[in-house]
Structures are given as C-alpha cells and as structure tokens.
Structure 1
Amino acid sequence: MNVVLTLNRKMLDKLFLKFNKYKKASKNQYITFYAKLPKATISVYNSGKVVFQGEEAENIAHQFGYTATAQPKQQANIIGTDEVGNGSYFGPLVVVASFISDKDVLFLKNLGVTDSKKLNDSKICQIAPQLMAHILHVPLIVEPMKYNKVIASGYNAVSIKVALHNQAIHLLEQHVSEPIDRIIIDAFTSEKNYQKYLSAEKNKVAGKVTLLTKAEDQFLAVACSSIIARYLFLKNLKALSLESGMQLPSGAGKNSDYVAAKIVHHSGPESLEKYAKLHFANTKKAINLAQIIES
C-alpha cells in the first residue's frame, strides 16, 4: 500500500516529532527524513512530499489528513448472481444470474437498485417486474418438492447452490452477445468448497468466476439478481400458501415450526415435502409439536 501526501511545515514537524524514534539513514539524497516502522516506512522529500508505504501506510497517513477515496467500480459487462430462500424453511430456493450492459447502468441507478435486503418487500415487488422486463437474466426456481428430491439424491445445502449458480451463469452466457468482463457470485461458501462441488457438474461456465462477500452492495448485476430472486421467492411462497391453506412464513424461526406442526396435524408429515425443505431442523420440531397438539 502506497499513500502520497504533501504536508505543510506544521504537519511535517508533527510527523518528525511522532516518528523520530524510528528514524533511519537514507541513501536517497532527496529524502530529508526516513522512518522505518514495524509495518510501514515514511519517506519525506525535499519538496515536502511524504510517501507512506507498507501494511499500515493508510492508517498512519490518516493521522496527517489522508482521506481514502473509493474508486468507482466497473458496473457494465458483468454477470452477477445471488440466491434467495436458502435460509427459509418454507418456499423455494431461487438463484438468478443477471447481465448488465452499459445501457442498463443509468436505468438501474434511477430505479434505485440496491441489495434486496435493504429494500422492503413492497419496494421489491414494485421494481422487480421492471427489472425482469429490461434486464437480461436467467432465473432458476427449485420448489420444495424438487429441492427435497435433489437433496435426497446426494446434494447438500451448499452443493445445490453451487450447481444452480453455475447453471444460471452457463445459460446466461449463451444469450449475451456483448463481451463479459467479469462474473461475480455473492459468496455463500469458500472458493475451495465452490470448486470442489463444481467438479461434479456437467456444464461449466466459460468465463472466470469470482466469489465476493457483500457483492450485492458493490455490483449492480448482483443487486439486480438479489431483487429478482427475492421477488420470485415471495411470489412462489404466496402460491404455496394458497395451496396449503395457511400463511407460510419466510425464515426458519419458531413461527415456521408452529405452521409446519399445523400442516402435519391436518395432513400428515409427508405433506410437508410440498411446502418445506425437509432437511431443516424445523421438520423434527414440527413433528414433535404436532404430537403435542394431537395429545
């Protein structure tokens, strides 16, 4: 890390006083003061220019007026993916891949696109249909019945997401006519795990995939996917609620246990496979609660 500042005499005197104990000789004739700290070096030149280098360079420079300016990230020619529903007992697992081109960026910013977790469901339901009509995307929806069969076949909660993200990107690549500069997945596992599970998949993404934490806060493509995925999850959860005759909650809290127990009480444990992800701990809790209700 390098930080370069130009300091006035008052700030230079402050720097000399603070770091004098770390002062070392320098062979550079243009350096008037050189300090070697445990995790940084400071070089003061005749011109008044000061160069901070090393792991702690930015932190030290902050003491002398340095303010980091965030570099704007490239937003166009990017595929971004996100998933919704993996933490909800009821409802589907939804993965969406979206491609953002130059012509999409202003549209998304004007629409107020950001991470779906920062938007309420009303706002998501308002803007998601506009995104789906405007943005090139691929949605994959795995309803509970299908989800449970896939898990029973040998997939786990992580490997099924790896398969879906990979497949969504693979399908989207076939429809993108412009260059794809980056492919970004909102990280849900480690790079090592992702590659391990990816090796079992038939289709492989052509471009290089990068897993980033909090990617939905940094890239419009990922934020766009998160909004569409949330919208499709809510829409599917509503349809399942109508089918079950109960208001199926999102999430995996106690409310999910109680609703599942009612379903078990009325229709038997096997009926849950149509509405819920059976490998969640909620299933056992619901069956136990249903037995209490019956007794």
Structure 2
Amino acid sequence: MTSLVLNLTSRQKQEISSHYAAYRTTSKNPYIEAFFKLDGASLSIYQTGKAVFQGEKAAFYAQNWGYQEEEQDLGKGGQDCALIGTDEVGNGSYFGGIAVVASFVTPDDHAFLKSLGVDDSKKMTDQKIRQIAPLLKENIPHQALLLSPKKYNEVMEQGYNAVSVKVALHNQVIFLLLQRGVPAEKIVIDAFTSSQNYKKYVAKETNQFPNPVTLEEKAEGKYLAVAVSSIIARAMFLENLETLGQKLGLTLPSGAGSKSDQVASTILAKYGMTGLTETAKLHFANTKKAQKLLQRGTQ
C-alpha cells in the first residue's frame, strides 16, 4: 500500500480538513486528529501535524497539497514486508549498560511511524526520543534486553569480547521475539561487525533459529523496524544511565571522553573499584585514565 507523508502547518491542517469535510469519518487511533475516507485513498491527520495519504490514489491527493517525490524517506525500498530490525545503544559509552532491541514492523505500521517522525536515533534529540519511545513500545511488538555494566564486566571476564557480547544480545532479542510468533519475512541487524564474524560467534550461542539474518550498515536509516529499535534502545540506555547515577549521587555522562575520566576518578575516590564495576565498562581506557587522575590528585 502506498503511504505518502506531508508536514502541515496549522493553516494547512485547517484548509485540508475543511476541503475534505464531507469525507470525514471516525478513527480508532487515538493519535489521529482527523480521518477521511476519500475515493481511492484515505487521509489521516495526526496530532503531530503530519498528513498521511494511503491507497492507490495517494499520490494524486498528496500532490494537490504540495507533495514532492523527494519527501519520501524511510518507508520505501526493501522493507515492504513483515520485518524484524535490531539495533543497540551504549556500546561506545563508558558508563551505562548496553540496550539491545528487536522490533517487528509491517507495511501497515509505516504511516503511524512516519507520523511520529521515527528516524535514526542518532539524528534525534533525547527529548524527542523520550517523547515517542513510550508510543513505540505500546504499539510495536518488540523485545528488549539491557546488559548492566556489572553483568557486562562479568561476561567479559568469562571470555566474551566487545563484538561477541553484542552478537549474543542481538541473537537473543531476535530469538525471543520469534518465540512470540511474529511472522517475520526478513530480519535486519544494524551492522556492527562482518557477517563472517557474526556467524562465527552466533554459532556458539545456545538459542538458535532458522531464519536468515542480514547485517546492513546504517540500517537505522533504511528500515523503520531498525529505527524503532534504535529509539527504544536509546531511551532504555538513558534511563539506565540516570538510575545508575542517582545511586551514586552523580550525573554520569554518555560517551567515553575526558568528562567520563573525571567522573570515574570521583567515583574511585568515593566508592573504589566497586563503584566503577557497578556503573562502567571496565575494559575501556577510561578506567586507567581515571586511576591516573586520582593518583595525581592524592600526591
């Protein structure tokens, strides 16, 4: 089904609603402000200010209101099927755990997701992510896992590495989502390693499934399912970072820059290595840098 999206001003919303008043009907979707059944298409105007035209004549109606081909973004290409997409957040941050999410999206979900402005979480503000993540969690079937810093440090000591940990997490969220019976025709992972590496590590995992998996670079910008996962995962990571910080009475920064070194040094001074084990990924270079900062401060 063709789905075309327009961003409307308040004036345009009024003009369109007035123009199609005779075709207005009710919608069960609480996020739709006005819904119209046109000849050969439907029109949904969302509270976010987006107009979504769907159906055979979607382009005909949308072009009357300024639609142009280049406005199409996510929602086209190789995702015109029932698809599971996965992504992870937190791998590059010294503090906080790793959140991995698998989401199941069908073409019927595309209009709703576009209306929310779903995109790669790296292109979105944290405020926007926190705003729409609950709506995605409520409306899109997904499976999420959060590996805490403490557990991360434990599995690293058991022989995992930074890549094999992520392979295990991605495999597990996909496995659990498939166990719920979602009819996935395609599975896409936002690539963090080569397919060869992925297959090598996943072969060691206990939980296996027969569905083929595709690893694609920058998949969060190509597939709505991956974008949904990136948003939910980012929201989980941010919440975990706040929770861990509150326990220590500190604000834990995201990333692995010099600010992380300084905060880690403060944690070492107050709580010792136990504090870092609970909040940070110890194998990062930040740990040694923080220890050096503490030594300088005590000399």
User: Under a length normalisation based on structure 2, what TM-score does the superposition of the two structures give?
Assistant: 0.73
- The answer to whether the Cα contact below 8 Å between 2:91 and 2:98 also exists between their aligned partners in 1 is yes
1:198 aligned onto 2:202 = yes
1:87 aligned onto 2:92 = yes
- Displacement, 1:202? 0.7
- Displacement, 1:214? 0.5
1:251 aligned onto 2:251 = no
1:211 aligned onto 2:219 = no
Other structure's SS at 1:273 match: helix
1:129 aligned onto 2:134 = yes
1:86-125 alignment runs, 5 A limit: 86-125=91-130
Report what 2:162 is aligned to. Answer: 157
Distance 1:166 1:214 in 2: 19
- The answer to whether the Cα contact below 8 Å between 1:75 and 1:219 also exists between their aligned partners in 2 is no
**Amino acid in structure 2 at the alignment position of 1:254:** S
**Amino acid in structure 1 at the alignment position of 2:98:** L
- Displacement, 1:204? 1.1
Report what 2:285 is aligned to. Answer: 281
**Amino acid in structure 1 at the alignment position of 2:139:** H
Report what 1:181 is aligned to. Answer: 185
Structure 1, unmatched stretches of 5+, are 1-68
CA displacement 1:120-161 (0-9 Å, x = unmatched): 100000000100011100000001111110111110000000
Report what 1:267 is aligned to. Answer: 271
**Amino acid in structure 1 at the alignment position of 2:109:** D
- The answer to whether the Cα contact below 8 Å between 1:92 and 1:233 also exists between their aligned partners in 2 is yes
**Amino acid in structure 2 at the alignment position of 1:72:** G
RMSD: 1.5
Other structure's SS at 1:268 match: helix
- The answer to whether the Cα contact below 8 Å between 2:190 and 2:218 also exists between their aligned partners in 1 is yes
- The answer to whether the Cα contact below 8 Å between 2:79 and 2:107 also exists between their aligned partners in 1 is no
Report what 1:4 is aligned to. Answer: none
- Displacement, 1:205? 2.6
1:228 aligned onto 2:232 = yes
- The answer to whether the Cα contact below 8 Å between 1:75 and 1:100 also exists between their aligned partners in 2 is no
Report what 2:35 is aligned to. Answer: none
Other structure's SS at 2:230 match: helix
- Displacement, 1:75? 4.0
Which among 232, 235, 241 is matched to residue 237 of structure 1?
Answer: 241
1:8-87 alignment runs, 5 A limit: 72-87=77-92
User: Under a length normalisation based on structure 1, what TM-score does the superposition of the two structures give?
Assistant: 0.74
**Amino acid in structure 1 at the alignment position of 2:223:** F
Based on CA coordinates, which of the two structures has the bigger radius of gyration? Answer: 1
- The answer to whether the Cα contact below 8 Å between 1:76 and 1:105 also exists between their aligned partners in 2 is no
Distance 1:80 1:241 in 2: 30
